[in-house]
Amino acid sequence: MSPRSSGSEPVNEELTQSEARSLLADFTDLRDSVRDTRIGRGGREVCAALTGSLDRAVAALLPSLEGTAVVALGGYGRGELSPYSDVDLMLLHEVDDVSDLAADLFRPLWDARLQVGHSVRTVREAATAARERFDSHTTLLTARLVAGSEGLFSQLMDEVARVTKARPLRNYLVEAERERRNEAPFPIMAVDLKTGRGGLRALQAFEWVRRRQELIGRFTADSQPVEEKAKETILRVRNALHAVSGRRSDVFVPELRVPVAGWLEEDVFEVASELMAALASIDRLAESVWPEVIDQRPRRLGRKVWSGGRRGGLTTDDPPDLATLDLILRSGERGRAVFDTLWETGQLNRLFPEWGVVVNLPQLEPFHEHPVGAHVWRTVAEMEKIISGDGDNGEYGKVALHLNRPDLLRLAAFLHDIGKGHGGDHAEIGADIVASFARRLGIESDEARLLIEAVRHHLLLPITATRRDLDDPAVIEEVATLVGSIRLLEVLYLLTVADSRATGSSMWSDWKANLLRTLFRRCRRYLETAVPVAMGTTPEEVLALAGDRVSLAELHLNAMPSEYLRSVAAVDVLLHIDLIMALRGVSNLATRDDQPIATVVVVGKVRPGFRRIVADVFAAHGIDVLEARVFGRSDGLVVDTFWVRDGRTSGAVPAERWDLVRSDIEDGLSGALDTASKVASRASAYPVGGFTGEGPTARVSVDPASGDTVVVVKCSDRIGRLAEILSVLDDCGLDIRLAKLDSREGEIVDTFHVGQRADLDRAALGDRIAASLTP
């Protein structure tokens, strides 16, 4: 039995309950088959097939429809039913008792495990609900008769028309759109296609506006082609999300993007690109329908900007100058809207054609919250906060004040990712684009060079801070020399802060801020003095503090590797000595929380799997390791320092938890506890969904400053992942001295310095490590 299309004449044929349930089974079979076999291109064709099939089943469920009508509401009413959408139905009646009829209608739907939004109302009750609640009113605007009395349904529509004439919708719809924008001030990749910014709810609002015009007898234009194209794209992706997840799933989450593209038989990047463009077009339509949703402060940006080609303003032959562009950049949401208008009217095309590449360019890595264009605008907004001294006790604002060029800071933020979408190194490509852009805009040579180098090196500080040894003077000298000036260093520092904050919540933390601050201050000191920065402490400073422990201090320092004092303060050296002297079993532990990030020091007798066991225990107790420095004494003792935070709160680890950690490390190292089982138990209780876009990778290189062999591992994140990596590195015979761990929203990029190893085949080692890690 072929499915009927939505919007067809209501069905009143008499069928037995058995036949009706058979039709309902046809619907659920069709829904299940869609998971494997797409209908048409996967958009409206799927919705129409599902809606038509369900219409026949619903219409057949009631033995008698005299004095009653079955009305479809919501997405079902609009004929936009996705595989696992809610089924919103109203049993409209004018009889005294409909309890049996309601049971006959709704119970089989529940038995089929459909999510049914149900109501039983008279025409008067429905009209009262519409008068009292906007959501009830808008739902009824697109109600559709599935079966039953056409006269009764007509009475309902007459009442809805009366309510509509007396009740303007504009303020309600504007507020709803503002709420969506407050939830997502900048468009996001993981958008909720139903209720999120630029999604179906905005499209439905356009339809409600048109329907209201019809009901009150005013002319209304048909939907625009751009609106219909955007709706088709969103319906296709939404249907795909339902199909590949087997449930109602409306959010474009990272782990479903590849399966969604597979169901649509398209490239994942192309699917994401089409979706981002569709969402953006709906955003622009919303602003044209309801201009007041845009922040009206300032109400005008100057006649030069806001004219759109009117008299006294810009024309296509008169693009903005630097001052006008800066005015746009610092004007927030209103500035973004003006920029979009200038772009759409062609007034920016000659000045800035590269914007067309990045405006809706998707970013599929899970740590990127926004497509490139939105990320750029958010970076500008974050930079504006920095310039104004908002937050962070004004620390970054003081740097911006010293630089004294807020316009260049905003422009650097706006241009930093302009090289994306062209293939190759986006920083180098971006630098070339900025050089051309600066010539078009007439930016002076010194300012142009600053912008070009800022874009070229905008990843230098974050990569150095999170992957290299900041206690190595050679690293500081190398970075400072490459930057070359305090002025550029200040731009890069503030750009890194703004860029990181704008990328996503997982890309910025107190720990990363501390690393970046340390790197900035050390590089600035080098540029100011041209003298290598002294790190750590000296033997003399340690011995001066040792008191009656001088001989123990001398013994300890002689047993430690040469780089030990470079990264350890004198007070910490004495702490290490005290821990070793108090060692009674196989391990000892002490914590310090008087620093920006809490540290824990573990000492013990070296044995196979020492660090894997420690990492297991941390994971089992919900402790995230951010960085580790590990040292082995010549007499077989291990002195390891870990910078840590609570995995649940990202704050300090509660003091009472450390007693359990200390006990479990001792038991694990002595063989009395299977730490891997404890990790597995916690992982089952707190599952973490990792990014499934690609398998593990491992890149092995040599740090140009220290000569260290460096292993960078990128893979999906989950509880116990660090212990697994440490075990693999141990099996490869690598002796780690520094680990810098970077967790990014479902994936990790962890860096391990393993000393100077010229004997390694780096490519083969990287392949071996990647192959040894589970996906």
Global pTM? 0.90
Q: How far apart are CA 447 and CA 427, in angstroms?
A: 18
pLDDT confidence tier of residue 62, bands split at 50, 70 and 90: confident
Please report the sign of the dihedral spanned by the C-alpha atoms of residue 107, residue 110, residue 112, residue 115: positive
Residue 299, pLDDT > 80, answer no
Q: What is the pLDDT of residue 768?
A: 96
Q: What is the pLDDT of residue 310?
A: 40
Q: What is the pLDDT of residue 306?
A: 46
- How many of the other CB atoms lie within 10 Å of CB of 317? 7
The residue-averaged pLDDT of 108-128 equals 94
The residue-averaged pLDDT of 624-649 equals 94
The residue-averaged pLDDT of 689-699 equals 73
Q: What is the pLDDT of residue 686?
A: 78
DSSP 13-75: ----HHHHHHHHHHHHHHHHHHHHS--TTSSHHHHHHHHHHHHHHHHHS-S--TTEEEEEEHH
Q: What is the pLDDT of residue 706?
A: 86
User: In 147-172, which positions are buried (b, 16+ CB within 10 angstroms) versus exposed (e)?
Assistant: bbbeebbebbbebbbebbeeeebeeb
pLDDT digits (tens, 9 = 90+) for 239-251: 999 999 999 999 9
Q: What angle do CA 659, 661, 663 make, to 5 degrees?
A: 70
Q: How far apart are CA 588 and CA 654, in angstroms?
A: 18
pLDDT digits (tens, 9 = 90+) for 312-342: 344 445 667 888 899 999 999 889 988 998 8
Q: What are the helix (H) ranges across 290-321? A: 303-306
The token pair that represents 744 in the structure block: 């990014």
Q: How far apart are CA 498 and CA 454, in angstroms?
A: 13
pLDDT digits (tens, 9 = 90+) for 344-362: 888 888 889 999 999 999 9
Residue 570, pLDDT > 50, answer yes
Q: How far apart are CA 657 and CA 771, in angstroms?
A: 35
Residue 674, pLDDT > 70, answer yes
Residue 623, pLDDT > 90, answer yes
Q: What is the pLDDT of residue 16?
A: 66
The partner residues of 639 in beta bridges, in order of sequence, read 603, 631
- Higher pLDDT, residue 713 or 321: 713
Domains identified in the chain and CATH numbers: 17-167 (3.30.460.10), 171-293 (1.20.120.330), 352-529 (1.10.3210), 572-772 (no CATH)
